[in-house]
């Protein structure tokens, strides 16, 4: 995480990770086959922190739109605290590496569950299997919003727009979905 935070995606080379961690390169290779796997493990750590922070009690807000805004604001601000790391994480998520597909799906399921909890006004920690008990409409809305947020975040990581646009895009989609 420190390498990616300091110098971005390119800085996460397995030999540098081994040197930073003061372990043999073979030790790193036993656990991780690629930099994408290392970065996804970092994302999982960050996700656990997020769930610990906002997942234990109902998301604040007067209505579903306010609560969904809260979740995406928290996600975005959390990632943007370390922009180089955020760009590296986005690049890893979008890499298409088949070795991390299940872990990427787990991250997307987590975000969908946080959004579903916000829609319902419940704590995300109350959801069994990341929203397995949600109705289809809630799951679809949460999935669409999560996809809009992620796509906009990819645009931010690629330099197409600033972070405010990520939140604006997600907010527009939220308002449109709830108006429908």
pLDDT digits (tens, 9 = 90+) for 119-147: 988 887 655 444 455 588 888 999 999 99
CATH tag, 36-179:
1.10.357.10
Nearest C-alpha neighbor of 61 from the set 108, 130, 109, 114:
114
Q: What pTM was estimated for this model as a whole?
A: 0.82
Percent of the chain with pLDDT over 90: 32
> How many Å apart are CA 147 and CA 159, to the nearest integer?
18
List the domain boundaries for the chain.
36-179
The pLDDT value recorded for residue 33 is: 78
């Amino acid at each position: 995480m420190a390498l990616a935070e300091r110098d971005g995606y390119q800085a996460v080379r397995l030999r540098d990770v081994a040197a930073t961690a003061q372990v043999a390169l073979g030790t790193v290779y036993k656990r991780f086959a690629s930099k994408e796997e290392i970065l996804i493990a970092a994302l999982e750590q960050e996700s656990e922190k997020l769930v610990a922070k906002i997942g234990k009690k109902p998301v604040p807000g007067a209505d579903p739109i306010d609560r969904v805004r809260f979740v995406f604001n928290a996600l975005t601000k959390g990632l943007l605290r370390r922009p180089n790391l955020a760009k590296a994480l986005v690049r890893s998520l979008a890499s298409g590496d088949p070795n991390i597909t299940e872990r990427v799906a787990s991250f997307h399921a987590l975000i969908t569950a946080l959004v579903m909890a916000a829609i319902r006004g419940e704590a995300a920690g109350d959801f069994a299997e990341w929203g397995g008990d949600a109705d289809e409409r809630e799951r679809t809305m949460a999935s669409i919003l999560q996809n809009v947020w992620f796509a906009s975040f990819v645009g931010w990581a690629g330099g197409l727009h600033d972070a405010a646009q990520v939140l604006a895009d997600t907010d527009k989609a939220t308002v449109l979905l709830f108006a429908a």
